[in-house]
């Protein structure tokens, strides 16, 4: 794993650079394999990033017809609920109609969590098998976006959660964490996140600065925070906005 950090004074500047990174990566993946599998992160920080990807020049440079969009986690609410991670991406990106409907792989949060997790894992397995990865143990996403909660969680892997020890499932359901919204969640598991070709954290705000430094500098032993367990076999980038 090689870890690179990219610091920016503002979230807008950070998202401009990250949008460029995503477009270039998407073009390379499509040129090499004819597809780009992107995992969206939740929370509010990525809102300007999703909006940028849906506007010129990025919207015209992204290979949307070969891009498949997935989610790293979802709150167990309806798709139009204010807390839905899908809703944010729909409003900022999907509403522009750039992605074919078949390329949008939503986590269904409005059904019982265990069922939603099992269904999503089946959808992932079907996708990767139908795209030539028959005998895989873990999926290899091209790029996974992650956020960082103020308690050090990422996706919906919360501190002290049993989901952190999941070694076989691709997707699991987790009970509410301490932070709002305190609802059940669906989340990709650590083996899936760490099997990715590339993981990018997008973090903003002075309040998370110390937490980011603690996580990035952690080298040995048990990680103190769930985000510290993200050590992908591929590349790891931290896109950090100071404010
Ligand atoms: C979730 C997110 C979560 C999020 C962080 C940061 O569903 O809660 O996926 O991991 O990325 O909590 O959220 P903010 O960007 O809103 O600070």
| CA atoms within a 13 Å half-sphere pointing along the CA-CB vector of 112 | 3
Q: Which CATH architecture has domain 2-241?
A: 3-Layer(aba) Sandwich (3.40)
Degrees to nearest 5, angle at CA 7 with 5 and 12: 125
CA distance 206 to 200: 19
> Is the Cβ atom of 73 under 6 angstroms away from ligand 1?
yes
3-state secondary structure string, 55-109? CCCHHHHCCHHHEEEEECEEECCCCCCCCCHHHHHHHHCHHHCCCCHHHECCCCC
Give residue 219's Cα distance to chain centre: 23
CA of 159 relative to ligand 1 center, distance in Å = 14
Point out which residues pair with 238 in neighbouring strands.
5, 201
> Is the Cβ atom of 226 under 6 angstroms away from ligand 1?
no
Encode pLDDT of 161-189 as tens digits.
999 999 999 999 999 988 999 999 999 99
Encode pLDDT of 101-124 as tens digits.
999 999 999 999 999 999 999 999
Take residue 13 and report the two structure tokens written for it. 């500047």
> Is the Cβ atom of 48 under 6 angstroms away from ligand 1?
no
Q: What is the pTM of this model?
A: 0.98
> Is the Cβ atom of 177 under 6 angstroms away from ligand 1?
no
Share above pLDDT 90 across residues of the chain, in percent, rounded to a whole number: 92
């Amino acid at each position: 794993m090689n870890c690179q950090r990219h610091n920016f004074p503002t979230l807008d500047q950070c998202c401009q650079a990250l949008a460029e990174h995503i477009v270039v990566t998407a073009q390379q993946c499509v040129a090499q394999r004819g597809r780009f599998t992107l995992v969206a992160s939740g929370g509010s920080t990525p809102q300007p990033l999703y909006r940028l990807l849906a506007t010129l020049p990025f919207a015209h440079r992204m290979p949307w017809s070969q891009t498949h969009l997935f989610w790293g986690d979802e709150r167990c609410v309806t798709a139009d609920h204010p807390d839905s991670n899908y809703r944010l991406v729909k409003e900022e990106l999907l509403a522009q109609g750039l992605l074919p409907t078949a390329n949008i792989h939503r986590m269904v949060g409005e059904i019982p969590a265990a069922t939603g997790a099992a269904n999503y894992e089946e959808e992932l397995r079907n996708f990767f098998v139908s795209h030539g990865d028959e005998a895989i143990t873990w999926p290899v996403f091209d790029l996974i976006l992650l956020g960082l909660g103020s308690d050090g969680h990422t996706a919906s892997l919360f501190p002290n959660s049993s989901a952190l020890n999941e070694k076989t499932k691709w997707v699991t359901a987790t009970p509410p964490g301490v932070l709002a919204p305190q609802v059940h969640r669906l989340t990709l598991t650590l083996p899936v996140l760490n099997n990715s070709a590339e993981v990018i954290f997008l973090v903003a705000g002075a309040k998370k600065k110390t937490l980011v430094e603690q996580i990035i500098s952690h080298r040995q032993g048990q990680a103190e925070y769930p985000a510290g367990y993200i050590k992908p076999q591929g590349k790891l980038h931290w896109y950090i906005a100071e404010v």
